[in-house]
Amino acid sequence: MCDASTKDLGRCLCVITGASKGFGRSLAQQMPCVLQTGSVMLLVARTARLLQELKAELDTHVLLVHCVEADLGTAEGVNKTVEVAKKENVNDFDHVLLINNAGSLGAISQFSSFTDLAEVNAYISFNISSALALTAGLLQAFPQRPGLRRTVVNMSSVLAHQPLPLWVLYSTAKAARDMMFKVLAKEEPNVKVLNYSPGPVDTEMQREIFQQTGVSRELLPCQKPGAKLLKLLLDSDFCSGTHLDFLDL
């Protein structure tokens, strides 16, 4: 349900990766409230059925929704996402917004267990490299022009800064992504960049954490950190490249 806020993110091309489940799905449900009529949303994930179900829920009177079935762990998946976005006419938008949300947990295991280079590379490729290549591809496809706002969000985690035993894969990827987007913020002053940590949210990833560790914790519904993220984007008064954690806001 939208509130009566007068602010919006403009006529927006909004790309959300990992939109089929969890936080990305919830964010995609909240997003239309803050987009102007004529906006386009690209929902990206591997599970086409879940994307189509989500699309059917959304109010497509105000915006067009395209489902992009893509495995972002592969070059084909990244390229396909960029190609679908490129079909849009840049002049139709005053804002291009990319939410790099897709991510995976990987094995929670001792450092010394990661002897399989292929396993490590596959994890790094999806969780780090694809976010770089996708962001680069979209920024190239939608270059700076007067009147165009460009925003990139990286879905981060408290573990980007906190070394925790057994979390080497996940923490390494989150730390690398934060740095990657900090560099982008330095390099491109006209791109607004946010590393956003949603806090522990109730998703499949948390169920997977419980399965692997047996440790449960209090979880937030996705809507709260999602609404806070939208408010941050609407106010847009954060310093580009910063890391903000829902639990500190």
Ligand X SMILES: NC(=O)c1ccc[n+]([C@@H]2O[C@H](COP(=O)([O-])OP(=O)(O)OC[C@H]3O[C@@H](n4cnc5c(N)ncnc54)[C@H](OP(=O)(O)O)[C@@H]3O)[C@@H](O)[C@H]2O)c1
The residue ranges that bind ligand X (CB under 6 A) are 18-24, 45-47, 50, 71-73, 77, 101-104, 126, 155, 157, 197-198, 200-201, 203-206
Looking at the Cβ atoms of 19 and 193, the one nearer to ligand X is 19
Residue 98: which of 48, 170, 149, 50 has the closest Cα?
149
Looking at the Cβ atoms of 61 and 217, the one nearer to ligand X is 217
Give least dist CB 57 to ligand X, A: 15
Give least dist CB 61 to ligand X, A: 25
Give least dist CB 200 to ligand X, A: 4
CB 17 within 8 A of CB 135: no
Residue 102: which of 140, 129, 136 has the closest Cα?
129
* Residue corresponding to tokens 């923490």: 171
Residue 174: which of 216, 116, 124 has the closest Cα?
124
Give least dist CB 155 to ligand X, A: 4
Give least dist CB 37 to ligand X, A: 27
Looking at the Cβ atoms of 72 and 230, the one nearer to ligand X is 72
Burial of 88 (0-12, 13-18, 19+ CB in 10 A): middle
Distance CA 154, CA 131 (A): 8
Looking at the Cβ atoms of 39 and 157, the one nearer to ligand X is 157
Q: Which two tokens stand for residue 188?
A: 């491109």
Looking at the Cβ atoms of 33 and 50, the one nearer to ligand X is 50
Q: Which residue is nearest to ligand X (CB)?
A: 22
Distance CA 70, CA 52 (A): 13
